[in-house]
Every structure is written in structure tokens, then in C-alpha cells.
């Protein structure tokens, strides 16, 4: 299969300590949603987003989500 | 797997990929979210990277409770990412969402077969691509500096004002400064989107980052203003995140992409731009939909 990354990319992907919030952006909003079996409602991690909203993304009157351009 | 082992373990799934010898070699050295040995479940031309995890920790109740604690969530997220990042250099991988857990490996096989027509084209599309994160912030350091400069220049005139008027004038100036910073950042975001769009084959807008965790983030940074330039690592916290986008970029143009995005932010006072990555294509592992933008919370 074509498209293997070069060594530098490979190291960058594997060895980097990433910011948790950037990771959660991807893990909670991105990724293929596959319904799990017994933990069906967990696979839909909206649960987590709501409970952790205070830490991850507090929404208040002072910081309404701005329109993205 | 024996009947008793099945009861004690569940199968945590990390990613969908092609069952190649390289993939088999790559998973052999990976440990997963429960420090378990990761392996491949194969079915024809598709495979899933999975690992057996203790049932008592990964059943619904336990997982739900665990994910509500930040340290546990972080451990799980990093464990999940560790496996995905270990497989991503192979060239094509579909990262699964956090906490995708199955009863047993047969169920994983069944899902792979059922969704084959969806997974194969996606793998094809993502092959040889990486994801970059691009975040645009207003930079309070810069706007404070310009505020101070304006204030210093205006002092002469203001001496004549009453304290109340001077206060109001200063407040107007500050508000104008903040608005200008926001406008500049918004313009820069548009410019970056145009610049990035020339190289990227996909774009997903994530929710702008807020809150405690956002203060701890810091990728590679380009700051506007006189100093300009590029500062590697640990961008200063602060400022409002006004754009948080993910771009899908051909791997062989990844460096060019990063350089062009950082360059587009040069010389813009009051704007800070952070580039993170390269990432496995997390934000693009979903089939394209008419509204690729996630709903705001």
C-alpha cells in the first residue's frame, strides 16, 4: 500500500506528548462511531462531554461560542 | 477464548486498518489502555486493532464513572492514542472513538464485515494523509502592549479630563483594542483557512477551546506583532481561541503546510496561531457529511 509516512513523521506521531485538550477534541468528537455491544451508551461519549464540560469547555455568558468564519 | 475468559474480558477496539504484515509487526509492540497486549482481528481485507481489557473496569457502569474523573479519562485517552499513533505511520488507519468496547472478537469481526463498504473507501481516502490542528487565538500580550502605547500617547490630552471622563475614555480604548484584536484574529483565521485550503484535502472545524484544560495546551506557535517569528513549543496561555480547525493534508506536503500556516500568521499584532500535529486522521475518520461541523455544546 502506498502512502507510508517518512521516518520523521512516524517519530512525530508516536513520541510526542500531546496536549490533553487537543487529544480530547479528536477522541470525543472525531473517530468512527462504532456502536459497542454492552457499552452502547458509553460509545456515545456525549455523556463525558457534558460531565466534564466545566473543565473542558465551560459555556457562559461571557464566552459565547463565536461564529466560525 | 474460553467461556470463562470471555466473561472476564471485553474487547477494546482502537482502530480499523488493513491486515498487512507491517500492521501485524506494529501491533506486536503496542500496549493498550489496560496495559494489555494489542492484537489484530482480521476479516478478509480489513482488520481491527483490539486488546482484551478487564470486564469489571470496562463495563458500562465502571466506564461511565471512570470517564467522569479527569485523571482516568486522561489515562484512557493517552492509552487509546498511544495505540492509534503507533499504527498511523503505516499509512492508513481509521481511529475509533474513545471507549469502543465489544463483547468478544467475533462481534468485532461481524462489525468489520457489516461496515466493510464504508471502511474501505475511507481507508483509501485517508491513506498517506496526516491531520494538522490549527488554532487561532487573540493575543492579550500584544493588545495590552498596544493599549499601553496608546495610553502613553494620549496622556497629554487626558490630563485635562475629569477622573470620570478619563476612566470612560480608557475603557472605550480598551474595548476598542479588544475588538480590534478580535477582528485581526478573525481576519487572520480567514487568511489561514485560504492558505491551508490550498494544500489540505479536508477541513473540520472543532469547537473553540475554553476552560482549564485549554490553558495547558501549547503546540508550535507563531505570534504576530513586531517580534513575529516562530516559537517552538509551549505557547503562552491566554487569549481567546477563535478558531480550532483540523486539516487533512497529504503526508508529503505536511511540512509545507505547517510552514505556510505559520507564515500566514506572521506580522499580525494581537494574533497567536498554534499548529499541532501531525495527528492520525482522527477528525476525518467519519464519512463526509453535509454538515461536517460538530454541533456547539
| Chain segment B206-260, per-residue pLDDT in tens | 888 876 677 665 555 665 443 333 333 334 556 888 899 999 999 999 999 999 9
Hey, which bits of chain B come out as E strands?
9-17, 39-43, 46-54, 93-95, 101-102, 129-138, 202-206, 220-223, 230-231, 241-250, 271-279
Q: Indicate yes or no: CB of B243 within 8 angstroms of CB of A20.
A: no
CA-based Rg of chain B, rounded to a whole angstrom? 24
Q: Indicate yes or no: CB of B210 within 8 angstroms of CB of A1.
A: no
Q: A28, A34, A26: which is closest to B67 by C-alpha?
A: A28
Q: Is the pLDDT score of B176 beyond 50?
A: yes
Q: Indicate yes or no: CB of B217 within 8 angstroms of CB of A48.
A: no
Sequence length of chain A is 69
Q: Indicate yes or no: CB of A9 within 8 angstroms of CB of B251.
A: yes
The reply to whether ipTM tops 0.85 is no
Q: Indicate yes or no: CB of A48 within 8 angstroms of CB of B213.
A: no
* Chain A nearest CA to B97, separation (Å): 5
The answer as to whether A69 is a domain residue is no
Write down the architecture of domain B129-150+164-217+231-279 according to CATH: 2-Layer Sandwich (3.30)
Domain ranges of chain B: 3-126, 129-150+164-217+231-279
Contacts with B148 (C-beta within 8 Å, 6 or more apart), sequence order: none
* Chain A nearest CA to B96, separation (Å): 5
Average pLDDT, chain B: 81
* Chain B nearest CA to A57, separation (Å): 5
Range of A13's domain? Answer: 2-56
Give the separation between CA B100 and CA B126, rounded to whole angstroms: 21
Q: B61, B66, B64, B50: which is closest to B102 by C-alpha?
A: B50
Residue carrying the nine cell digits 492520525: B280
Percentage of chain A beyond pLDDT 70 is 16
Average pLDDT, chain A: 51
Closest residue in B to A1 (Cα–Cα): B91
Q: Per the structure, how many domains does chain A have? A: 1
Q: B80, B101, B66: which is closest to B35 by C-alpha?
A: B80
DSSP state of B90: G
pLDDT band for B181, please (50, 70, 90 cuts).
confident
Q: What share of chain B is helix, strand, coil (3-state, %, to 5)?
A: 50, 25, 30
pLDDT band for A10, please (50, 70, 90 cuts).
low
Q: Taking CA B248 as the corner, what is the angle to CA B212 and CA A45, rounded to the nearest 5 degrees?
A: 45
Amino acid at each position: 500500500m502506498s502512502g507510508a509516512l517518512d521516518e520523521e513523521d512516524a517519530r512525530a506521531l508516536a513520541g510526542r506528548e500531546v496536549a490533553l485538550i487537543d487529544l480530547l477534541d479528536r477522541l470525543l468528537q472525531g473517530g468512527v462511531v462504532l456502536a459497542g455491544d454492552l457499552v452502547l451508551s458509553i460509545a456515545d461519549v456525549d455523556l463525558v462531554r457534558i460531565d466534564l464540560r466545566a473543565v473542558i469547555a465551560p459555556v457562559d455568558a461571557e464566552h459565547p461560542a463565536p461564529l466560525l468564519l | 477464548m474460553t467461556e470463562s475468559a470471555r466473561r472476564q474480558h471485553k474487547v477494546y477496539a482502537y482502530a480499523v486498518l488493513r491486515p498487512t504484515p507491517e500492521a501485524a509487526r506494529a501491533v506486536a509492540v503496542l500496549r493498550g489502555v489496560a496495559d494489555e497486549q494489542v492484537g489484530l482481528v482480521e476479516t478478509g481485507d480489513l482488520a481491527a486493532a483490539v486488546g482484551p481489557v478487564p470486564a469489571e473496569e470496562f463495563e458500562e457502569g465502571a466506564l461511565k464513572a471512570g470517564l467522569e474523573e479527569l485523571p482516568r479519562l486522561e489515562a484512557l485517552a493517552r492509552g487509546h492514542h498511544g495505540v492509534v499513533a503507533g499504527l498511523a505511520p503505516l499509512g492508513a488507519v481509521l481511529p475509533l472513538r474513545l471507549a469502543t468496547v465489544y463483547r468478544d472478537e467475533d462481534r468485532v469481526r461481524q462489525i468489520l464485515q457489516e461496515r466493510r463498504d464504508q471502511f474501505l473507501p475511507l481507508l483509501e481516502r485517508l491513506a498517506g494523509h496526516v491531520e494538522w490542528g490549527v488554532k487561532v487565538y487573540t493575543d492579550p500580550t500584544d493588545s495590552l502592549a498596544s493599549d499601553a502605547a496608546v495610553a502613553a500617547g494620549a496622556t497629554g490630552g487626558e490630563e485635562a479630563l475629569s477622573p470620570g471622563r478619563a476612566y470612560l475614555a480608557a475603557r472605550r480604548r480598551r474595548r476598542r483594542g479588544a475588538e480590534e484584536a478580535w477582528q485581526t484574529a478573525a481576519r487572520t483565521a480567514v487568511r489561514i483557512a485560504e492558505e491551508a485550503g490550498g494544500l489540505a484535502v479536508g477541513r473540520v472545524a472543532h469547537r473553540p477551546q475554553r476552560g482549564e484544560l485549554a490553558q495547558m495546551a501549547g503546540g508550535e506557535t507563531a505570534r504576530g506583532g513586531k517580534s513575529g517569528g516562530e516559537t517552538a513549543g509551549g505557547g503562552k496561555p491566554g487569549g481567546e481561541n477563535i478558531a480550532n480547525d483540523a486539516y487533512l493534508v497529504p503526508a508529503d506536503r505536511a511540512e509545507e503546510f505547517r510552514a505556510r500556516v505559520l507564515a500566514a500568521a506572521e506580522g499580525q499584532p494581537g494574533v497567536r496561531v498554534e499548529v499541532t500535529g501531525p495527528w492520525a486522521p482522527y477528525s476525518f475518520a467519519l464519512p463526509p457529511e453535509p454538515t461536517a461541523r460538530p454541533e456547539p455544546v
